[in-house]
């Protein structure tokens, strides 16, 4: 279900009405069902992966923290796994549209997936074998060793699921291409796996739960269904922010009240996100595609404008999702972390990653960069750790080499910045001109990174780079022109962010006099209405 879809327009009010009128315990159970429904509309089969990841990390969390699992907790989580396997893998559910069809019976349209039956049998065998092996091995180990093995099981299970669904075919294709480059001709086994929506996000979220328990930053929870809600909470399930258990889980476990402040701020964030997504991101998508999806000749101006438009698109698209997620969550009294903080006002790569996709960059810092050694051990070790972190961060974004190259580019500019500016105090009293110039120049550096990110092949990267460096004899412009709504919406976004940047106040708009504020709200709604004529596009980060 998309935030900018008609389905969500009806889904959210129904969820809020039931939620506001319910007790705390029922709120959590209802939100869990609503979250599973929200995700299941994409492909109900992949709900099983969420349930499996939930059960594994719930049990592992108890083992790391308490060294044992109560029978009730074990039976409850195990039953949840196998009931979910039957419901989501064995049963083939008919389309909900058949409920309203006069020519067919909905309940006679159910069928059995024989392959799903085989998967459940394998799952049962593997589950039982894993328990027996675990008990036999860990009964002979010391407590510290046990905790390390428990953590290794959690990390291995999560990364194995992620690697299989996201990277199996990618590495098979890469191996075939490598062999063919040496004159070989071999066709390896392909599965043509469908990528589950949001798997990278909820995998990192559940994995951080086990890691934080191991580091003694949080305690495990005994409430399985509440933990299941932490994993599947629908506002941020598909594209983040990647929440830590230390922030989100207590808000789920404890009673919540919804204040007027949260409702007003939440409504604003939802409409501001829809404005960025519908009016701007969807508006420039066609222009970006007209150059990056073409195989014809393009000019240097085409590449420049397409890349600038993509910088606008990816920011407005992704930050819009985060805004709507945060706004929706505020309406339920649950605060989510801010995922974007004016990233295009960054003056250097280090600052950029403190402002862009904050939940991922902080995750990579805390669970990858620092454990690798961080900036300890001298310059070479630091550069190695930066490059490793950003390479894996690039690969996290997608199963394609251009993402790896983008990660390498980010690692290089971070390393270069650290080499020249490490240990030097920043001059905070620089002139406005110098500050603006620094922001603009680094924005151009960022844009070349977006060229790597958006390109569809290595050949396109080399062609476009060559055009930028040498193709200044052709000034033709073949890019598709964005619709009018982009040209009237973009200045408002820029003005809004400049004021927020200068005031350092995310609520500055509340100080506006009512006629101006009312006019701005009306203008935003007008832009959203105009943007409905744009061809809707899926949120970019759904593919990650």
CB proximity list for 385: less than 8 A, separation 6 or greater: 369, 372, 373, 374, 375
Q: What distance in Å separates the CA atoms of residue 280 and residue 317, rounded to the nearest whole number?
A: 8
Is 357 an active-site residue? no
Active-site residue, selected from the candidate residues 24, 223, 357, 397? 397
C-alpha 390 chain-centroid distance:
16
Within 10 angstroms of residue 212's Cβ, the number of other Cβ atoms is 21
C-alpha triplet 63, 74, 203: angle, nearest 5° = 65
Does residue 519 have a cis bond before it (omega within 30 degrees)? no
Q: What distance in Å separates the CA atoms of residue 281 and residue 80, rounded to the nearest whole number?
A: 39
Cβ atoms of residues 53 and 200 within 8 Å: no
Q: What distance in Å separates the CA atoms of residue 465 and residue 452, rounded to the nearest whole number?
A: 9
DSSP 152-218: HHHHHHHHHHHHHHHHHHHHHHHHHHHHHHTT---------PPPPTTHHHHHHHHHHHHHHHHTTSS
3-state SS, residue 338: coil
Tokens for 160?
């194995």
Tokens for 468?
């930028």
The residues with which 495 forms a beta bridge, in sequence order, are: none
- Long-range contacts of the stretch 37-41 (C-beta < 8 A, 24+): 38/1, 38/11, 38/234, 38/237, 39/197, 39/198, 39/232, 39/234, 39/237, 39/238, 40/88, 41/1, 41/7
Q: What distance in Å separates the CA atoms of residue 11 and residue 38, rounded to the nearest whole number?
A: 9
Tokens for 482?
């964005």
CB proximity list for 12: less than 8 A, separation 6 or greater: 328
Distances from the Cα of 470 to the Cα of 299, 307, 389, 465, angstroms: 10, 17, 33, 9
Cβ atoms of residues 249 and 61 within 8 Å: no
78 burial (CB, 10 Å; 0-12 / 13-18 / 19+) is middle
3-state SS, residue 55: helix
Q: What distance in Å separates the CA atoms of residue 540 and residue 255, rounded to the nearest whole number?
A: 34
Smallest Cα–Cα separation from 304: which of 322, 287, 324?
287
Cβ atoms of residues 173 and 193 within 8 Å: no
Q: Give the residue numbers annotated as catalytic, written as ranges.
A: 397
């Amino acid at each position: 279900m998309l935030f900018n879809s008609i389905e969500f327009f009806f889904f959210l009010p129904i969820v809020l009405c039931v939620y506001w009128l319910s007790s705390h315990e029922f709120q959590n159970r209802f939100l869990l069902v609503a979250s599973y429904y929200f995700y299941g509309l994409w492909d109900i089969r992949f709900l099983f992966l969420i349930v499996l990841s939930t059960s594994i990390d719930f049990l592992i969390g108890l083992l790391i923290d308490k060294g044992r699992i109560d029978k009730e907790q074990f039976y409850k989580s195990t039953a949840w796994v196998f009931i979910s396997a039957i419901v989501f893998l064995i049963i083939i559910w008919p389309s909900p549209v058949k409920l309203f069809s006069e020519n067919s019976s909905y309940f006679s349209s159910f069928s059995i997936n024989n392959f799903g039956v085989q998967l459940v049998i394998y799952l049962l065998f593997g589950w039982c074998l894993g328990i027996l092996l675990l008990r036999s091995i860990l009964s002979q180990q010391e407590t510290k060793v046990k905790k390390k093995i428990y953590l290794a099981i959690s990390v291995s299970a999560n990364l194995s699921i992620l690697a299989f669904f996201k990277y199996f075919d990618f590495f098979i294709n890469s191996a075939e291409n490598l062999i063919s480059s040496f004159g070989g001709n071999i066709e390896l086994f392909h599965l043509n796996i469908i990528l589950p929506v949001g798997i990278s996000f909820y995998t990192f979220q559940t994995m951080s739960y086990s890691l934080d328990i191991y580091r003694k930053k949080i305690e495990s929870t005994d409430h399985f269904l509440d933990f299941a809600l932490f994993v599947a909470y629908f506002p941020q399930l598909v594209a983040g922010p990647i929440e830590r258990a230390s922030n989100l889980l207590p808000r789920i476990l404890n009673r919540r009240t919804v204040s007027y402040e949260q409702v007003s701020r939440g409504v604003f964030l939802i409409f501001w996100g829809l404005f960025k997504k519908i009016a701007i991101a969807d508006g420039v998508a066609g222009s970006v595609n007209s150059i990056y999806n073409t195989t014809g000749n393009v000019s240097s101006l085409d590449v420049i404008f397409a890349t600038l438009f993509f910088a606008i698109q990816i920011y407005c698209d992704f930050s819009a999702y985060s805004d709507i997620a945060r706004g929706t969550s505020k309406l339920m009294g649950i605060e989510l972390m801010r995922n974007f903080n004016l990233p295009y006002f960054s003056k250097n790569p280090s600052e950029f990653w403190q402002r862009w996709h904050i939940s991922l960059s902080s995750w990579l810092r805390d669970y990858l960069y620092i454990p690798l050694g961080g900036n300890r051990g001298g310059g070479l070790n630091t550069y190695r750790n930066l490059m490793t972190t950003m390479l894996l961060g690039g690969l996290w974004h997608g199963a394609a080499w251009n993402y790896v190259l983008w990660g390498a580019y980010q690692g290089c500019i971070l390393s270069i910045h650290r080499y020249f500016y490490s240990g030097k105090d920043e001059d905070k009293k620089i002139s406005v001109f110098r500050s603006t110039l620094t922001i603009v120049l680094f924005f151009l550096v960022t844009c070349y990174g977006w060229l790597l990110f958006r390109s569809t092949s290595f050949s396109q990267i080399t062609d476009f780079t060559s055009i930028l460096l040498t193709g200044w004899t052709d000034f033709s412009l073949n890019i598709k022109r964005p619709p009018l709504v982009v040209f009237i919406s973009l200045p408002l976004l820029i003005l809004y962010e400049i004021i927020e940047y200068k005031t350092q106040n995310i609520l500055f708009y509340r100080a506006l006099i009512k006629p101006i504020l009312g006019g701005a709200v009306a203008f935003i709604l007008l832009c959203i209405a105009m943007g409905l004529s744009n061809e809707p596009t899926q949120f970019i980060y759904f593919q990650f």
